[in-house]
Copies of this chain bind each other. A is one copy, B any other.
Amino acid sequence: MTPQPSTGAQSMVRTLVACGVDVCFANPGTSEMHFMDALDTVPGVRGVLGLFEGVVTGAADGYARMADRPAATLLHLGPGLANAAANIHNARRARSPMVNIVGEHASSHLQHDAPLTSDIAGIARPFSDWVHTVAGAGTAAADTARAVRAARSAPGQIATLILPADAAWSAAGDVAGPLDVPALAPADDAALRQAVAVLRSGEPTAIVMTGLALREAPLQVAGRIAAATGAQLLAQTSNGRVARGAGRVEARRIPYAVDAALAFLAPFRHLILVGAKAPVAFFAYPGKPSVLTPRGCSIHQLATAEQDGPAALQALADALDASHVQPVLPPAWPDDPAADGPLNPATIAAVVAELLPDNSIVADESVTTGRDFFRLTRSARPHDWLQVTGGAIGCGIPLACGAAIACPDRKVINLEADGSAMYTVQGLWTQARENLDVVTVVLNNRAYATLAKEMENVGIPRPGPKALAMIELQRPAIDWMAVARTFGIPGLRATTVAEFRRHLQAAVRERGPMLIEVQC
């Protein structure tokens, strides 16, 4: 088929389709009009509107984590990119591929410093692995193909392509095909030999994983290694996606809190890292270490994030003759319903673990209330668990949107802290518009509760009234049932275990968006 003569924008959309990008999360403005138009005139790309840019990029992150390929985003000039940036930060830490298309003034207009003018490339750079400005309609297709290649380059990158309005609206005509994407590099033989030696030494060893190593098949391999050698399997504190649940090999997460993490890691003499970095504290605290590796414990990097962790695990299992050893698996959740009683982190987790549907997806921004949810749900039906990887809150609702669009046949449960939910609450509108199969469980403790704990951690055991006012959300209390009504989605409130159980049962039976407020 000969391509029709087309605008730069149309050649870009054609190229996106040719390169396998078929979803565009968008919050466009005037300078992106021709790109919007091209979504109609060129078939193949689904447009999904977000009412705030953080929704757009958080959804692209959730999509990429579940689809294993990039979505495009469409953003309006520098301020739109800035609004999008916090969730780009999270995506980058998750190694999610993403192609951001950021509209820019027409090139002839820039010299006039109109009100919306800003240094878009300068804004993009701290958050992107690849930044480029389209020079004109003639190169728009080729630039798009390069952006997709950059995004897909292992292990996943943020590509930001700045599109001047005149490059979008001028005549172009060509379409570019997909470019070869650099694959994950193999792990080093020396690193493999070292890991083998460590695991044969009999000294207490943990394998710390993140990234692709936490998918079902490589975890199974890791489980064989663990069963054969006695090594423990750990996951980083924050991970983009973990395959887990009953029947799957478990990787225990390194705790968030420094003292708990130190105690957790204290037994080990060796950490073998697969995709992960040596564990460090999330924040620094007066008098506490940043490095969590115990004194005398050696670090062995079997595979970096840029190397093929699953293949390295398989090679390790082969070298250890562990490929046929049966891994230890978590038991299935006991088939007895949670007793009624007050809601607290443990009872909330018990209800979630009991009712989580098979093959569901959990988007976890549960922060303080959910600090232990991961551990407590290990025996639930098999599911994928997505976390806030970069610590920028306001990620959970958008992640759930993107995961639901990537996997329309899987239920998405978003465990969402109330304070965090308010940053990108507009994402609920996208869930309503697209009829996404997402249950948002708002863990309403009416506080930035994590900050109350952190106050003590940093050495302020008795904060004064002004500091306290900045960590409580009671004056006024947010009405979460009204939030649900705002966006036209059903809302239910639970104040007891029995209520939560009943509401979550109803939510997993139905299809479509729902919000359950859990008062805790």
List residues of A whose CB falls within 8 A of some B CB.
Answer: 26, 28-31, 33-34, 36-37, 39-41, 47, 49, 51-52, 54, 77-80, 82-83, 85-86, 89-90, 93, 105-106, 108-109, 112-116, 118-119, 122-123, 125-127, 165-166, 169, 237-238, 277, 280-284, 286, 290-291, 389-392, 394, 419, 422-423, 425-426, 429, 432-433, 450-451, 454-455, 457-460, 463-467, 469-470, 473, 475-480, 482-483, 485-488
Q: Given A28-B451, A82-B82, A83-B423, list of 8 further CB < 8 A pairs?
A: A33-B454, A77-B391, A115-B389, A115-B391, A118-B126, A123-B127, A476-B487, A479-B487
Contact A282 B115 (CB under 8 A): yes
With the chains together, A105 CA to B283 CA distance in Å?
Answer: 7
Residues from chain B with a CB closer than 8 A to the CB of A51 are: 419, 422-423, 473
Residues from chain B with a CB closer than 8 A to the CB of A457 are: 30
Contact A478 B487 (CB under 8 A): yes
The 7 sampled A-B contact pairs (Cβ below 8 Å) are: A28-B451, A30-B282, A33-B454, A47-B466, A79-B392, A112-B281, A116-B390
Contact A426 B433 (CB under 8 A): no
**A288 shortest CB reach to chain B, Å:** 10
Known contacts A422-B426, A451-B29, A476-B488; decide if A114 and B470 are in contact (CB<8 Å).
Answer: no
Contact A118 B105 (CB under 8 A): no
**A190 shortest CB reach to chain B, Å:** 24
Residues from chain B with a CB closer than 8 A to the CB of A93 are: 115
Residues from chain B with a CB closer than 8 A to the CB of A79 are: 85-86, 89-90, 390-392
* Neighbour of A433 across the interface among B34, B165, B475, CB < 8 A: B475
Contact B422 A52 (CB under 8 A): yes
Contact B40 A463 (CB under 8 A): yes
Residues from chain B with a CB closer than 8 A to the CB of A467 are: 33, 36-37, 39-40
Contact A115 B423 (CB under 8 A): no
Contact A454 B30 (CB under 8 A): yes
With the chains together, A77 CA to B393 CA distance in Å?
Answer: 12
Known contacts A460-B33, A467-B40; decide if A82 and B127 are in contact (CB<8 Å).
Answer: yes
By beta carbon, the residue of chain B nearest A24 is B466
Contact B41 A464 (CB under 8 A): yes
Residues from chain B with a CB closer than 8 A to the CB of A488 are: 476-479
Contact B126 A119 (CB under 8 A): yes
* Neighbour of A113 across the interface among B277, B477, B479, CB < 8 A: B277
With the chains together, A203 CA to B92 CA distance in Å?
Answer: 59
By beta carbon, the residue of chain B nearest A392 is B79
With the chains together, A169 CA to B108 CA distance in Å?
Answer: 49
By beta carbon, the residue of chain B nearest A51 is B422
Contact A283 B475 (CB under 8 A): no
